[in-house]
Structure formats: structure tokens, C-alpha cells
A and B are shown apart, each in its own frame.
Chain A
């Protein structure tokens, strides 16, 4: 979704682009607990920026500070160039979609959606028009007079979205927007969210713990851990070039080989890892202290499985025995204990329906990967 060729925009690479949200060294403490720790961040206009992290990592606190429900202990937040310090939520050009949706149970769908406009004191006719428009956008025509408890989960989610978009905010904050929906509905709703975002030209900041959701929605992801932002980048950056062990393990599955750098050249490094057997050759330079403990991270889908040894058995390969196979339809997952004792996870697409040579349990196989497939990460 994020890589539509015709409207690919990457303002974060443009040094002249002005950030729409600027978070400068923001810290939030609750008593002794540091929820958000010295976070700095820029989000650009019309981005979908995902804050991704496990529970308690501070992502929701950061979102609530943007909305104005929490005040930073230190640091500053700028939205559209304006310092937000001391600006109450009702005066911010920001709306929020709550995780529980927070629909007003005593109001109909129409009244819920109209709520924000009524507070602005608009004329009745204009409110009616805009509410009808918005209900059309979120496909809720015909549900105007329902109460929230008469709606399904997906419909409630759309009411919440309509209500938070009705004031045409420049910035919409979404707290786990798809968290309460079942899997099928989630996928569908993800695409709708992105469509609406593109149509209305709103900037989204989304909080989620679901890496899949973040990958499909986001133009950029900020991965958070223990109150800090560990890495900011496009979904591709985060997946293919994680900068720490935490990020590579949090996003998707990964095989980690612990080892020491024995050859450190500008163009490549070689890591000696007892967990693999052969040395690991990584085709790019790294900046790590010599002799430091590092990890070579290899994604399961980048590992090749063969019965015959690979062309070059000097680097990046090992022999093992297939112990578990999980057949997923489109692909299969293999768990393979290597002769070193380390178990590797490998996924292979099931490209052929009848594969005589299909691998099976207890087969002896070679695992190997290309020199560009591994990423070196530090703690």
C-alpha cells in the first residue's frame, strides 16, 4: 500500500521538508516510572506514522501527549509549528480515535458523529450535510438512528472513525484502530483506512502492537521499547535493516547467530559463530567494536534448503535434519536442528503442487544463504 509508485513521497529524505509534528526530547514520568524516555521524532504531512511496540513501551503515552491528555514532564511538542505546551485537548487541531472507540452510548450514530461539529456551533443544515457525507465515506448510510450497542464491532469502529474525522482534523491519532476486529475484517479495514487517509489528506499517527498492521498501514514505523524509540524507518527499512537485536526479533521471525567479528573490512565482515559451524560472511561493512559480541540475523525466507551442498561450502552454510514441518498452504515452515545444536527456522514457498522431491521429516539438508542476506546487529 505504502509503495504506490505514482504517489511515492518520502519527505523524510528531503532536508528542506518541514516536519508537521516535531517531538523534541520528550520525557514523561509517572512517579518513578519513566513511560517515555527522551523521545525525539518528526512526522510529515500526509504520512501514516506507526508507533510500534509491546505493551508498556510508552507508545500510548506518547500518543496521549500528542492529543493533550498527558503533559510531558520535559521536552516540547510542536504541531504545525505551534508549541503545544499547555494547550488543552479541546484547542488542538488534533482528533483521536480511541482504542475502545469511546462511542457515547446514549447517542445515536448520527448524534455521535455530529458531536464535534455541534461543539463548534455550526449551523444545523451544515452539520446535517457534513454528517451525511461522512457516513457515506465510512459506508454507514442507513444506520443513522442506531445506538452504538446495536452495531457490530466493525460498524462501531467506523462510527468512531467518522466521529474523529468529522472536524476535518489535520492530524488524526489512532490508538490500536483495528485491535478489536477479527482477522478478516482487519485486513479489509486496513485498506479502507488507507484509502480514507489518502482521500482526505490527513496525517495519521497510529499506535499498534501488531507488526503486521504497522507494516501494511505505515509510511514509516517508529519501533519503541522501554520508553525509547529504537528505530525509525519505512517498513522495508525496519524489516530488512533492523539496527538492533530487539527490532529484528520484534518484527517478523529471524534466526540469530551469536558470534565475534574476526575480519572487519569496509566492504565485508566475517563472523565466527559456533552456532553455525562455518564462518558467516556478510557483504557489507559494519561499525562495531572489534571482538565485540554481535549477532548475524537471517530471515527464515532468505535461507535456502537443498539436499546437495551449496556451491560454496566455506561460508554461510550448515547441515541439519528436518524435525518439524508446518504446512501453511502458500508456504511451509521448517524447523531444522543443525549439527551444531542450533535450531533454524526456514520458510519455503510451495511453488509446485506435485513436488516429488518435496522435503520431509528426518531428511538431511543443507541450509545456506547469500552473502547479502544476513544483517549484523548489536544488542
Chain B
């Protein structure tokens, strides 16, 4: 039995539509509204404005003209500019290219790793997973800087190779695409491994045994059974790597060459060097759209997979 004041107040709350259920659901919605929808609308608004000198450095959309007309000006010029200047299209394409190849590398490295962890002795599994997660305990920036220490001309790798006499002058690795790929793949690998592991770990080993029993050699059994059943994990991992990698700014900036054209970097330059907030906002909006489409494809796929029940691998009962 609830005490009278509590009953009274919960009655009042219910009358205004606040029950425990709506509060629990409401908190994340409120969070999304405050920190995603409203900022997005602000950026959207700025992307349709003009630049001007002053604070803020863009024109308002609504304006009083002659003290009596309410003028609504929508400047689509920023988006036209993105289409006209090939710099932006190139930056988009090269970002997508970098993100794509990073995803492929992450997949090639991450799949065997997750497979090995999932097949490892149960007592080892948690330790191995811990080793994957452990780098997250250090700052992301510190880890990228650590790579600079490894890769630069008088860095650890070059010093070791030279002292062993394998090379006589340092290999230039910093400020190259090579270093950038290493940085991205290194940073995003756990995001590939974890969903893949979660999928592979659920696989029923007797499926492989059944395939082998029916005349499959082990590798073929892997290709015919394990690989198709791990598709949801592959897609989840690839999305988790690809989407943030497209907008990646810090790693290309710190490890990549000055000529590396990434959309995140273009965004940064528009914002802080050119102080052209409207064009920067337009870039951000375009980037968001480019990323939302793959997410929607992914969700559609997941929905389809759960509907057909194929998302869960392995035998039941």
C-alpha cells in the first residue's frame, strides 16, 4: 500500500500524462531531441543562410524589411556551390574510398581474430576480449600520437630497422595514406571485432560437424555454413567502422599527408579557416545524408532478417 502523499502525487502526474512508462521512454527521446534534433535543425538553418562579417557569421533566415515585410530568405547557393566546386565531390568520394578500404582491412583482420576468440577455450575467451577492449581505456588521441612515435622518420620502427642494418635510410611513413590507413584500421578494429564475435560465439558447432559429416572439407564447411550465418555480424561491424570512418577528421589530420582530401578535414577548414559557416553546415548536412542512407539500408536488412528469423544462427532445442 502506497502512502497517501505518494498516491496523491502519482495521481496528479498521471493526470498530466506522466506515468513510469512514459518517463522511461521519454528520457532517451528528450536526450535525442536536445542533443540531436535541435542541433541538427540549427545546422540545417545555417546551411541555408549567407555569410556575413559579424557575430554570428551568417544571416538570419527571417528578416524585417522596411519595418513591415517579414522576409524569408532561403539561400540554396551553398548546396549549389558544393555541387559546382569539384573539391567537395572529390573529398566525398575519397572519404568514402578511405572508409571503404578501412572497412575491408578491418574485416580481413577482424574476422579471423573474432573467429579465433569465439573458438578459443572458454577460460581464455574473456581475457582475449579484454585485450581487444583494453586500448579504449587510454585516450584516443594518445593512441594516435603513439603511432606517430612509431612511424616517424626517427621513430621506433625506423630506428630498429636501421640499427639492424636492414635499411640505411628511414622509410617515410608519416604523412602518407599508409599511416592514415594504419591509424583508422587500428582505431576502429574493435568495432568490427565485437559485433562479429557476438555473432560467431553463438554459432552451433554441430552445424559444422554436420557439414563435415555430409562430405564437406573443413574450409568448405566454413564457407558454406559459418560465413553465411555470420552475415549479420559482418554487416553490423562494417557499418560501425564505415560510418564514423567517412567523417574521420583527427586521424587523417595527424597521420595522413597534407594532400589527403577527407570530407571531415574540408569541414574543419571551411569552419575554422574560411569561417564560412553556411558552406560548412551544408557540407555537414550532405555528409549526414550520405551516412543516413547506408544506416537505413542496414536497418531494413536487419528488419528483414529478424522477420524471417534468420538473424539468430545456430540450432535451437
Residues of A with Cβ closer than 8 Å to B? Answer: 67, 69, 88-90, 94-96, 98-106, 115-116, 119-120, 147, 149-150, 153, 163-164, 167, 180
Contacts and interface: CB of A to CB of B under 8 A. Distances in A.
A147 B309 contact: yes
25 contacts: A88-B212, A89-B209, A89-B213, A90-B214, A95-B214, A96-B210, A98-B315, A99-B206, A100-B315, A101-B315, A102-B207, A102-B209, A104-B207, A105-B313, A116-B214, A119-B214, A119-B215, A119-B216, A147-B310, A149-B309, A149-B310, A153-B317, A163-B214, A164-B214, A167-B215
A141 B119 CA distance: 38
Interface residues of B, number: 25
A105 B310 contact: yes
B3 to A, nearest CB: 50
Given A69-B209, A100-B317, A180-B317, A105 B229 contact: yes
Nearest to A180: B317
Interface string B298-317: 00000000001110111111
Interface of B: 204, 206-207, 209-217, 220, 225, 228-229, 308-310, 312-317
Q: Which of B207, B209, B215, B228 has the largest number of chain A CB atoms within 10 A?
A: B215
Contacts of B315: 98, 100-103, 105
A120 B210 CA distance: 15
B202 to A, nearest CB: 11
A100 B209 contact: no
Contact of B214 (A106, A167, A180): A167
B229 A106 contact: yes
Contacts of A167: 214-215
Nearest to B225: A104
A99 B214 CA distance: 16
Contacts of A101: 315
A323 B191 CA distance: 68
Q: Which of B210, B212, B215, B314 has the largest number of chain A CB atoms within 10 A?
A: B210
A189 to B, nearest CB: 16
B218 to A, nearest CB: 8
A149 B217 CA distance: 26
Given A105-B315, A149-B309, A180-B317, A100 B206 contact: yes
